Structure 1
Amino acid sequence: MAATVMGCDEAASPNTQARPVRTLAVGGSAEGETVSLTGQVRAKDQVSLAFRLDGRMIERSIRVGDVVSPGQVVARLDANNQQNALRTAQANLASAQAVLTQARLTYQRQEQLSKGGWATRARFDEAVQSLRSAEAQVESAQAQLHTAQDQLSYTVLSADGAGAVTAVGAEPGEVIRAGQMVVEVARQGGRDAVFDVSEQIIRTSPRDVPVEIALTDDPKVRATGRVREVAPQADSVTRTFQVKVEIMDPPEAMHLGSTVTGKIRLAPPPGIEVPASALTEANAGPAVWVVDPQSQTVSLRRVDVLRYDQAMVVISGGLETGELVVTAGVHALRPGQKVRLSGAAS
């Protein structure tokens, strides 16, 4: 009986028993990581309408959400000063034209007298000079009149294209400066999904990559986009780059201002992808168990990890294609232990 028990113990000894493990044959290069970003739908063309003059705004006929058409009046300035300047320019032009008429008549008389020998050459030259001076004064007065007319027209702000008003920057009664935004109009047409992207993604993402876009609150509403514009400089506060993605055939549900999620696949990293369950630790560093197919034993090998994920890790050094890596039971192994492959994959 004692001999039988001792024989059973030797058969069950961990030094001789092969431990079943699950392995994976290391394949080719890793796949690119999928990155998700949150952005906002904006109009492809968005303009800020502003006056060209300083003045007090007396009227703004539209509000946020209104749809404007080309040529529609948006706002008006107090135009009393411009109207007075226009009347002054008109009076100056009339005066200059009267002087020109008088100078032209004087020239014609001096021309006839000069031909008959009744006038001196100096009087004729003086008439010619007076006529030319009067013509120049009329041209100057006409230019001043055109300027005054333009200044008066600048007191009326009109929409230069169809679109929806997304913001207002001034209220009636305010004194505003030239160039100050009065209304912001999102023009009808294309739409962009705008994202704030980190420098690392900008550096590692492939060029002209398609972007999968979906509404955040309703992922069933989807569209495809193409990168249209990348900011050349990072934001001074967030240190991210603004990326505009043109939405191809945007669904009606993707309204302006909607929150969307964009997904892209980055370029494949230079490494080998293995399951995260294969990773263990050796000498305070990452390691994996490698199976020797000849002796059916395992050895612990240090590796360099490029990227961690919940399911997979990317190994950048320490493994070769075709080697067998233990993917299950790694915490119960020791160097040189015999193993039995269970569910090996290639």
Structure 2
Amino acid sequence: MSRVPGGAPLSCLLLALAALSACGQPPEPPPPQPRPVRVTTVEARGEPTVISLTGTIQAETEVNLGFRIDGRMIERLVNVGDRVEAGQVVARLDRTNEENTLRSARAALAAAEAQLREARANYGRASELLRTGFGTRQRYDQAAQQLQTATSAVDSAQAQVNIAENRVGYTELLADAAGIVTARGAEPGEVVAPGRMIVRLARQEGLDAVFDVPPVVRDIAPPDVVIGVALTLDPTVRTTGRVREVSPSADPVTGTFRVRIGLTDPPPALRLGSTVTGRMEVSGGAGYAIPAGALTRQGASPAVWVVDPASRTVALRAVEVLRHDPARAVISSGLSGGEVVVTAGVQALRPGQQVRLLDAAP
């Protein structure tokens, strides 16, 4: 047996070196185990879908009443909630300046009418003298010109009187139709500009239920659909209506569309500002129903984890939600019938991860 200096056998030394080299290399980690998840198979909805939205009652027509001239408002005769009739005075301006302007215009009209009477008399005399041969043509032409000038001056003065009378009338603000005051924009003592809102009037021409509708709901709504509208605090107070107006552009913040439902014979309990619930029934097949726990997010959009049946890996896919409640969600786009989605364990997954299916019940 060979020995090294010091007396240790060579074979023992080689074994020690092999053991030391094996200790310096860590063992390879075991491959990751597939994560167990619960899944469900996507199937199309067969029963009708009832879409429910919350909105408010508003007047079919609201107008802002304002003065046509500027001035200092001295009186406002109505308040928020008051009912007004057509032609009722709702506010007044200080009319001192307008009355002075009217008196001045009437005095100018009287002076112009006096000059017109004198011009007519001069024209009559000049015409008679010319006819009898005792007058000249030049004098007759001058009298005719003075008569025409005086007539124009009277017309101009009368127009100024009419304008001044209108301005005096504009110092009173009248309701153009019956309705209810919903807002006020100025207080007595303020100097207001022409057109400034003094009061906002909800006309008694009808009521609308106003909803902010997601794009997918607007797109699947059937034409001329009948909407059921009920008071949220008392669902026994109900009526129906049809779509009267749809906003052509979406709200830049919420992405929803403003829809106005014209109500048919609304009951008295549906007052302005009341919160109402609108219900619309959509025929079967409008989307795919999945458990609400399957929803997660991809950025700012809702998404679900879809399982590839061949590789048993998951991928995150963005979807559009038609409606949802605590138990389930109805997906309008992004899924197809027969696909498998993860319903439990969605928060611990990553794209491409292998999974082990615990169940796949529809």
What's the TM-score once normalised by structure 2's chain length? 0.70
- The 5 Å alignment of 1:23-62 reads 30=46, 33-62=49-78
Q: Distance in 1 between matches of 2:358 and 2:62?
A: 63
The answer as to whether partners of 2:43 and 2:337 remain within 8 angstroms in 1 is no
The answer as to whether partners of 1:36 and 1:263 remain within 8 angstroms in 2 is yes
- State the one-letter code of the partner of 1:317: S
**1:254 partner SS:** coil
In structure 1, the residue matched to 2:229 is 213
Inter-CA distance 118–206: structure 2 relative to 1 (3 Å threshold) = same
- Aligned with 1:109 (options 125, 129, 136): 125
Structure 1 residue 31 displacement after superposition: 5.4
In structure 1, the residue matched to 2:173 is 157
- Aligned with 1:135 (options 130, 151, 157): 151
**Does residue 1:194 correspond to 2:210, yes or no?**
yes
Q: Runs of 5+ in structure 1 lacking a partner?
A: 1-23, 290-299, 321-329, 335-344
Inter-CA distance 54–269: structure 2 relative to 1 (3 Å threshold) = farther
Q: Distance in 2 between matches of 1:189 and 1:29?
A: 41
Structure 1 residue 200 displacement after superposition: 3.4
- The 5 Å alignment of 1:1-346 reads 30=46, 33-266=49-282, 273=288, 285-286=305-306, 310-311=327-328, 316-317=335-336, 319=338
**1:152 partner SS:** helix
Structure 1 residue 201 displacement after superposition: 2.9
Inter-CA distance 221–125: structure 2 relative to 1 (3 Å threshold) = same
Q: Distance in 2 between matches of 1:187 and 1:48?
A: 11
Q: Distance in 1 between matches of 2:82 and 2:286?
A: 53
Q: Distance in 1 between matches of 2:110 and 2:329?
A: 87
The answer as to whether partners of 1:306 and 1:313 remain within 8 angstroms in 2 is no
- State the one-letter code of the partner of 1:286: V
Query: Aligned pairs, how many?
Result: 294
- State the one-letter code of the partner of 1:66: D
Structure 1 residue 60 displacement after superposition: 0.8
Q: Distance in 1 between matches of 2:255 and 2:43?
A: 38
Q: Runs of 5+ in structure 2 lacking a partner?
A: 1-40, 295-303, 340-355
The answer as to whether partners of 2:43 and 2:338 remain within 8 angstroms in 1 is no
Question: What is the RMSD of the two structures over their aligned residues, measured on CA atoms?
Answer: 3.8
Q: Distance in 1 between matches of 2:181 and 2:286?
A: 49
Inter-CA distance 270–63: structure 2 relative to 1 (3 Å threshold) = closer
The answer as to whether partners of 1:89 and 1:141 remain within 8 angstroms in 2 is yes
The answer as to whether partners of 1:213 and 1:222 remain within 8 angstroms in 2 is yes
Structure 1 residue 102 displacement after superposition: 0.4
Structure 1 residue 286 displacement after superposition: 3.2
Q: Distance in 1 between matches of 2:77 and 2:58?
A: 24
Give deviations 1:134-169, integer Å, cap 9, x for gaps: 111111111111011111100001111111111111
The percentage of counterpart residues that share the same residue type is: 46
Structure 1 residue 209 displacement after superposition: 1.9
Structure 1 residue 237 displacement after superposition: 4.2
Inter-CA distance 33–127: structure 2 relative to 1 (3 Å threshold) = same
In structure 1, the residue matched to 2:20 is none
**2:177 partner SS:** coil
